[in-house]
Amino acid sequence: MFEHCDKLRVRYRDVDYLGVVYYSRYLEYFEVARDEMMRAIGIPYSEFEQKGYAMPVVEVHCIYQKSAHFDEVLTIISRITEMPLARLKIGYTIFRENEDEILVSGYTVHAFINKDGRPVRPPNFFRQLLQAKLA
């Protein structure tokens, strides 16, 4: 399993009039964590695209357990538990900084496509980088 940890401060634009994070923002937080995870794997997403590939989201699941609020610092753990064959599943857990109580958990599933938009297997360079992290 490969895990990556990020911190993110809740911005005012992310909350409703009660100061609670709007539910769809958590999907954006997942995306921030995913981008940073790709960088930690050894291939920033921009470089992945420059090589002619993309990983569109094909499925999202999110469980909201507790609310986050304006100006709190959140810890986002993203994880990959297995080598992708055709699709990549990334799990996420969001906590308040320095707390153990889960606020939000979920996952995204990604397909791999080439620059023509056709489905492909995960590129070898990505599998090699990820294998080094999963080992």
By the 8 A CB rule, do 103 and 96 touch? yes
Task: Just give the CATH number of 2-134.
Answer: 3.10.129.10
Per-residue pLDDT tens over the stretch 26-47:
999 999 999 999 999 999 999 9
| Mean pLDDT across 58-65 | 98
Q: Output the six-digit token pair for 128.
A: 């090699």
Closest CA to 96 of 126, 120, 113, 72: 72
Per-residue pLDDT tens over the stretch 66-94:
999 999 999 999 999 999 999 999 999 99
